[in-house]
Structure 1
Amino acid sequence: MLVSHSTGWKNPIKGNYRAIFVVGFEPEKPIFTIPEVNQNLNKLKLPDTVLFDRSSRSEYGSIAAEFERKKQVVTEISNYRIKTVGLFTLGPSFAADGTVVTSDQNFLRLFKNRRRGEINIGLINLKSGVDKQKVIDNLAAKLPKDVRLLTYQGFINFEEDYWRTSTAIGFMFALGTSMGFIVGIVIVYQILFTDVNEHLAEYATLKAMGFTDNYLLNIVFQEALILAILGYIPGLGISLGLYELTKAATSLPMFMSASCSILVFIMTILMCSISGAIAVRKLRTADPADIF
């Protein structure tokens, strides 16, 4: 499979150019699981034809609407005249705002500086029951060191790790999460500390009656847990709404997974527990005689 994302798509309506992700493959050897692509393989065998992602950003033009009305849209990619002969649904990503799929022959016409043997991603289909790791080890011994061999899941993990650890957007997400955790600790601490301070006489009375610091700590932790639950429920609802808003504005596939929501809930409880542990220090040092 030949892949490029550094070429310009000409908006057929406005005439401006925007970078688009181009994927080329051999139609005789289908590699996609997208039904709309597989249904148009014969069209891609024709010269100068592409399939356009209907979920691409609107800056590329109303290609889907134009195609459904005319059944063909003519424009340019890298100053090369091409025809849109079909649509499919994929959606943008952090790497690309839009995608087109074409044949390997059309790909080489678009990118004249690319040779047929220069590929970005190659797909190897294995028979059922074959040891994947053994195949990888055998191929790694024969292929050049600059070739990375990955399983299907390994490729997904590689992409996720790249965007999470090697890009600015991954750093910003991590920084935002860390700052939110720290700010949450401070806010919950202020709430719990104010509550403890206002009821210090009651806590001192319990302490004078013989209740231990651990008992008082347990009371504060219960308050922290209640705050965590009461804050998490509306926070989850607001987050789901913001996800939908972001999805509508950017066309990015935003969704809240069950594992992510559970992780956030655990972190919320941990955040409130840390705040409670800090706030209860005043009770540990409080002397009932001094308070009364």
Structure 2
Amino acid sequence: MIINISLAWLQLARQKARFLVASTGIAFIAVLMFVQVGFQDALYTSATQLHNNLKGDLFIISTQYQSLTFNQSFPRRYLYQILGCEGIESVSPLYMQFAKLKNLINGIKFPIYVLGFEPERAILKLPIIQQNQSLLQLPKIVLFDSKSRSQFGPITQEFEQGKTVIIEIFNYTSSIGYKVKVGGLFSLGPSFGVDGNLIVSTSTFFQIFQGRSAKNVDIGLINLKPNANTQKVLAILSAQLPKDVIVLTRQDFINLEKNYWTNRAPIGFVFQLMVIMVFVVGVVVVYQILYSNIASHLAEYATLKAMGFKNKYLLIMVFQQALILAFFGYIPGFAISIGLYDVAGDFTNLPISMSLDKAGIVLFFVILMCLASGLISTKKLRNVDPADFF
């Protein structure tokens, strides 16, 4: 049986105002979906930016590790114990901790994430850091993340204007600040747990955090020789190292971070819950639209039944209307969301942007939402009796 889709289209387009309102409602639901999916993706992308930019083939972390925003260190000596292991070319320690940075204008102190490493060893892939790495060998010189949020003051602007920028950093356990000079900028970006970043040498790091010991490392970076078998080295290290640390590949390290934000952090649960709620609300909204359309054309459907058309024909026509509404709502929702992503990215400095993956996911859910609504709304249509009208 061939179904003429033009009949479904004509029935929707006959009442232009209602069709416009229906499309607008679905567009609004699509925008809400795009916002939720966009921020959820930004959560994972921003949380793993450092992981993606670390120069290493394998990574050692404490078994107590939860995420980058928690301090969980292990003895530095473990790194030197594995230097003689087959396939390992070099190891590097990375120290991380939150400090407070004093705003240049209003004097308010805001949390900032401090990364400390030995400046003679390049541990970050960012080219600008490698260019300015020699500056870190000078005392009291730091690199500031130009994508840090605005609460830290006009540090980036003043540096780019050629001014000497002196900032004051405070350890959480001390009221005495430590003044350093901004020697360069880099671009990493904030996340949901971090508002800004500083890169310092290990000597400067331990001047800021005088309670920290160089004997305890937060992340150990392992660089392998060119022809080394990654899985073989991973197995050897896992067997040799004490049970209070684990060795991970980059992808496993990234997955561990994502798992924390998905399953253990409240924000991950909230995003998943909101996506489900938006979908359910969308089903209800589209159901009301389709049900209202069916109710207003019930006599026409009864006439078609009296003419011999089966329920299958009428139900398929309703599903066709659901698909038409899905696409006419999705297209403006997609266009609006591109603009919202730009605004949100500029305001939050989070990596939120449109992609084929997001466009495909939301399109799938919009179509599924409309088809589910169509299925629910056809109950009245299946039960319609032409004898009630004639």
TM value normalised by structure 1 = 0.94
Q: Secondary structure at the match of 1:86?
A: strand
The answer for the alignment partner of 1:253 in structure 2 is 351
Q: Does 1:265 align with 2:363?
A: yes
Relative distance call for 1:106 and 1:234 in structure 2 (3 A) is same
Please give the residue correspondences for 1:214-253 in structure 2 after superposition, counting only pairs within 5 Å: 214-253=312-351
The answer for the alignment partner of 1:64 in structure 2 is 156
Q: Does 1:89 align with 2:187?
A: yes
Please give the residue correspondences for 1:81-120 in structure 2 after superposition, counting only pairs within 5 Å: 81-120=179-218
Shift of 1:131: 3.1
Please give the residue correspondences for 1:177-196 in structure 2 after superposition, counting only pairs within 5 Å: 177-196=275-294
Q: Does 1:127 align with 2:225?
A: yes
| Partner AA of 2:94 in structure 1 | L
Q: Does 1:47 align with 2:145?
A: no
Deviations 1:226-282 (A, max 9, x none): 011011111111212211111121111111221121011011100000000001111
| Partner AA of 2:301 in structure 1 | Y
The answer for the alignment partner of 1:26 in structure 2 is 118
Indicate conservation of the 8 Å contact 2:345/2:352, yes or no.
yes
Indicate conservation of the 8 Å contact 1:74/1:82, yes or no.
yes
Shift of 1:225: 0.3
Q: Distance in 2 between matches of 1:186 and 1:283?
A: 18
The answer for the alignment partner of 1:166 in structure 2 is 264
Shift of 1:128: 3.7
Shift of 1:134: 2.6
Q: Distance in 2 between matches of 1:101 and 1:92?
A: 14
| Partner AA of 1:61 in structure 2 | G
TM value normalised by structure 2 = 0.71
Deviations 1:19-77 (A, max 9, x none): 10100111121011111111111110111111001111111111112223345311211
Q: Distance in 1 between matches of 2:233 and 2:312?
A: 58
Indicate conservation of the 8 Å contact 1:207/1:288, yes or no.
yes
Q: Distance in 2 between matches of 1:3 and 1:170?
A: 26
Q: Distance in 2 between matches of 1:212 and 1:104?
A: 78
Q: Secondary structure at the match of 1:106?
A: helix
Q: Distance in 2 between matches of 1:77 and 1:151?
A: 33
Q: Distance in 2 between matches of 1:234 and 1:123?
A: 47
Provide the alpha-carbon RMSD of the alignment: 1.6
Q: Does 1:6 align with 2:98?
A: yes
| Partner AA of 1:187 in structure 2 | V
Shift of 1:118: 1.4
Q: Secondary structure at the match of 1:125?
A: strand
Indicate conservation of the 8 Å contact 2:103/2:153, yes or no.
yes
Q: Secondary structure at the match of 1:12?
A: coil
Q: Secondary structure at the match of 2:217?
A: coil
Relative distance call for 1:127 and 1:174 in structure 2 (3 A) is same
| Partner AA of 2:197 in structure 1 | T
Using the aligned pairs only, state the percent identity: 50
Q: Distance in 1 between matches of 2:131 and 2:381?
A: 71
| Partner AA of 1:142 in structure 2 | Q
Q: Distance in 2 between matches of 1:64 and 1:118?
A: 32
The answer for the alignment partner of 1:207 in structure 2 is 305
Tell me which of 120, 145, 153 is aligned to 2:243: 145
Q: Secondary structure at the match of 1:23?
A: strand
Q: Distance in 2 between matches of 1:213 and 1:129?
A: 67
Indicate conservation of the 8 Å contact 1:71/1:85, yes or no.
no
Shift of 1:203: 1.2
Q: Distance in 2 between matches of 1:153 and 1:39?
A: 27
Shift of 1:91: 1.6
For structure 2, which runs of at least 5 residues remain unmatched after alignment? 1-92, 171-176
For structure 1, which runs of at least 5 residues remain unmatched after alignment? none
Shift of 1:151: 1.5
Deviations 1:88-143 (A, max 9, x none): 11221112111010112211221112111312122112234533233222212222
Relative distance call for 1:282 and 1:117 in structure 2 (3 A) is same
